[in-house]
Amino acid sequence: MSKDSKMRATINQKLTEMGERERLKELLRAKLTECGWRDQLKAHCKDVIKEKGLEHVTVEDLVVEITPKGRVLVPDSVKKELLQRIRAFLAQHAT
């Protein structure tokens, strides 16, 4: 594992252990619903299903279509806030 992914894993471990990961997930969920991200992607899902046909579409089709769009549509303010929260948390619990 590269150094980068090692660090990722360590951070994730810490976040999970302290339950912070779940709290952050809830925060993210709320923020993304609030800014309309969820609705945008839901609409996009519907479009994909219409395009591929309800009988033939697979979950993977949706994942492939939605993931890049979803990533792009996350507002910078939300990213900033999450990042801030993680930083603050790590600073608080640094070993």
Does residue 82 bind another protein (CB under 8 A)? no
Dig out the tokens for 80 from the structure. 């900033």
HSE, CB side, 13 Å, CA atoms: give it for residue 91: 6
Kindly tell me the burial class for residue 31, based on how many C-beta atoms sit within 10 Å of its own C-beta (0-12, 13-18, 19 or more). middle
Among 59, 72, 91, 94, binds another protein (CB under 8 A): 59
Does residue 88 bind another protein (CB under 8 A)? no
When the beta carbons of 44 and 61 are compared against another protein, the nearer one is 61
Does residue 51 bind another protein (CB under 8 A)? no
When the beta carbons of 16 and 69 are compared against another protein, the nearer one is 16
Question: Which 3-42 residues touch another protein, going by CB under 8 A?
Answer: 5, 8-9, 12-14, 16-19, 21-23, 26-27, 30, 34
Among 58, 72, 92, 95, binds another protein (CB under 8 A): 58
Asked if residue 48 lies in contact with residue 66, where contact means CB atoms within 8 angstroms, the answer is yes
Asked if residue 85 lies in contact with residue 27, where contact means CB atoms within 8 angstroms, the answer is yes
